[in-house]
Amino acid sequence: MSGTASRLAAARVLDAVLHRGRSLKGEFGAELPKLDDPRDRALVEAICFAALRERARYASALNAWVPKPLGKRDDPLRALLDVGFAQLDALQLPAHAAVDVTVEAARAFGRAHQAAMVNALLRRAQRDGFPPADPAQVWPQWLLAEVRRDWPQHAEAILAASAAPAPLWLRVNRLKTTRDAYLQSLQDAGIAARVHDALPDALRIEDSLAVAALPGFDEGLASVQDGSAQAVADALTPSMGARVLDACVAPGGKAAHLLERDPSLRLLALDIDSRRLRRTAETLRRVGVDAAVELKAADAADPAAWWDGVPFDAVLIDAPCSATGVVRRQPDILLHRRPGDLDALLLTQARLLDAAWTVLAPGGALVYATCSILRRENADQIDAFLARTPDAIAEPLAETFGHEDGAGRQRLPGEDGMDGFFYARLRKP
């Protein structure tokens, strides 16, 4: 039956992420290339995102509907039911698509003996619906406590925004076109988009869309990049032709943005993971700036291993972090993050800041950015750096970067339709 393959792929992804500790991004990388039709790939993504966001509601309903709790051996069945629930509930697909095809997928999934059960449970879901959502249910208690302590006035809005689908943000490549011209090409293709006054290269699309549907995407006319991530280039604003270090470049969107604005920059881009650098190279090649970048697999926190002794005019640290500002895009974060992870990240961030300062030229600027909303990684991290670095001067950023928080600015998830992001700009005298 048409559509079975996409439901099977979604069930395999969810089973791996929910029950075997795998990353959503990694499982998408394994499963999506098996589907030839981009519409099928987009459907798999939509199903998985919805199922992960609503997993507490679906688990509660399932526990109420089955007389005997499902055991560990039924994890694949549970994943398949989540696929069906997401189609009926979040995606509002017609019953023949959500129920009939998912039942067929159960047979193809080696669950033929449970196909009748799948049908009955999906029909009940269609009839009875699901309990009200509480976004806090999917957050681990330790992380929820951090958010509520850091942002007591905003915590509920953060949780709600993190549970909602994110809009699609595009960055228009000014080397190849203009924002107005690309906006017109979207309109000609029947795609509604709008500009953002504070982001000169950004367009926002509310409806989910496969990148294959974007005009000129393969030719590098536009890239997918959230508005908050695009703002990093505005925070750094290196002078024309400056020598720039991108200390944690992968997957390369921010480096590409800087070079699209000024291809005369002399940019060294580092990443500790050589495999991620290959993806970065592809990103830079697609938008036409690969020749302007030197890519190097290295630990930015160990300059002795890679630095040639020539100082940089500007340094960008897009630091490894908890990613708590992008839960709406990576809902599996809430499944996998552990308190010990945060302790290790804090040490890494501090090492990166200290090392980057040693390679920054006098008069140069350093921007520290994270996609986290936790103060320990953001305002507190910068405060600690300033306390141990007497020659570092914090420079104020405009209100458009978010809430004032210590020496930086914090945008919270969903504000102005963007991801949660922290920015701090430091100057060396």
Kindly report, residue by residue over 13-62, the tens digit of the pLDDT.
999 999 999 999 999 999 999 999 988 999 999 999 999 999 999 999 99
- Res 69: pLDDT: 82
Rounded Cα distance between 19 and 17, Å, is: 6
- Residues 86, 66: contact at Cβ < 8 Å? no
DSSP string, 335-403: HH--HHHHHHHHHHHHHHHHHHHHHEEEEEEEEEEES---TTTTHHHHHHHHHH-TT-EEE---GGG-E
The active-site residue, picked from 48, 248, 321, 371, is 371
**DSSP H or E segment with residue 208:** none
Average pLDDT, the chain: 95
Is 0.85 topped by the overall pTM?
Answer: yes
* CATH classification of the domain holding 190: 3.30.70.1170
Average pLDDT over residues 3-12: 94
Which of 17, 7, 16 lies closest to 41 in space, CA to CA? 7
CA angle 382, 250, 150 (to 5 degrees): 35
Residue pLDDT, tens place only, 199-217: 999 999 988 888 888 999 9
Give the pLDDT confidence of 122-178 residue by residue, as tens digits.
Answer: 999 999 999 888 999 999 999 999 999 999 999 999 999 999 999 999 999 999 999
Q: Alpha-carbon distance 418 to 412, whole Å?
A: 8
* Burial status of residue 246 (CB atoms within 10 A of its CB: 0-12, 13-18, 19 or more): buried
Q: What are the φ and ψ backbone dihedral angles of 115, each rounded to 5 degrees?
A: -60, -40
* Residue 75, helix vs strand vs coil: helix
Q: Closest Cα to residue 54, out of 149, 178, 138?
A: 138
Which SS3 state, helix, strand or coil, does residue 423 take? strand
**Single-letter code of the amino acid located at 387:** A
Minimum mean pLDDT among 63-72, 227-236, 359-368: which range? 63-72
Neighbouring residues of 15: CB distance < 8 A, sequence distance ≥ 6? 75, 76, 78, 79
**Within-domain flag for 315:** yes
Q: Give the pLDDT confidence of 257-283 residue by residue, as tens digits.
A: 999 999 999 999 999 999 999 999 999
Maximum alpha-carbon separation in the chain: 72
pLDDT of residue 2: 60
Both 243 and 219 in one domain: the answer is no
Domain that includes residue 124, residue range: 4-134
CATH of the domain at 77: 1.10.940.10
Per-residue pLDDT tens over the stretch 97-107: 889 999 998 89
- Token pair for 386: 């300033």
Is residue 355 within 8 A of residue 418, CB to CB? The reply is: no
Same-domain pairing of 313 and 211: no
Spatial distance between the Cα atoms of 204 and 168, rounded to a whole number of angstroms: 6
φ/ψ of residue 402, rounded to 5 = 120, -165
pLDDT in tens, 322-346: 999 999 999 999 999 999 999 999 9
Task: State the pLDDT confidence band at 108, using cuts at 50, 70 and 90.
Answer: confident
Q: What are the helix (H) ranges across 373-412?
A: 379-388
Closest Cα partner for 197 from 398, 426, 412?
A: 398
Residue type, 377: E
The alpha carbon of residue 149 and the mean position of all alpha carbons in its chain are separated, in whole angstroms, by: 24
Query: Three-state DSSP class for 364?
Result: strand
Q: Mark whether 48 is an active-site residue.
A: no
Do 214 and 231 lie in one domain? The reply is no
Answer yes or no: do 220 and 79 share one domain. Answer: no
pLDDT in tens, 236-247: 999 999 999 999
* Domain contains 237: yes
Of 200, 224, 248, the residue that ends a domain is: 224
Residues 85 and 233 both lie in one domain: no
User: Residue 260 has what pLDDT?
Assistant: 98
Kindly state whether residues 333 and 412 are assigned to the same domain. Answer: yes
Place of tokens 């208690």: 141
177 neighbors 260 (Cβ within 8 angstroms): no
195 shares a domain with 255 = no
217 and 242, same structural domain? no
Contact present, 303 and 279 (Cβ < 8 Å): no
In the chain, pLDDT over 90 holds for what percent of residues? 90
Shared domain check, 417 and 381: yes
User: What digits encode the pLDDT tens for the residues 169-208?
Assistant: 999 999 999 999 999 999 999 999 999 999 999 999 988 8
CA dist 207 and 234 (Å) reads: 26
In sequence order, the 6+-apart residues with CB closer than 8 A to the CB of 341 are 322
- Final residue of a domain: which of 182, 209, 224? 224
What is the tally of structural domains in the chain? Answer: 3
Exposure of 71 by Cβ count < 10 A (0-12 exposed, 13-18 middle, 19+ buried)? exposed
Residue 1 pLDDT exceeds 70: no
The tens digit of pLDDT for each residue in 52-92 reads 999 999 999 999 999 888 888 999 999 999 999 999 999 99
Query: What are the backbone dihedrals phi and psi of residue 172, each rounded to the nearest 5 degrees, phi first?
Result: -80, 135
Last residue of a domain, one of 192, 224, 256: 224
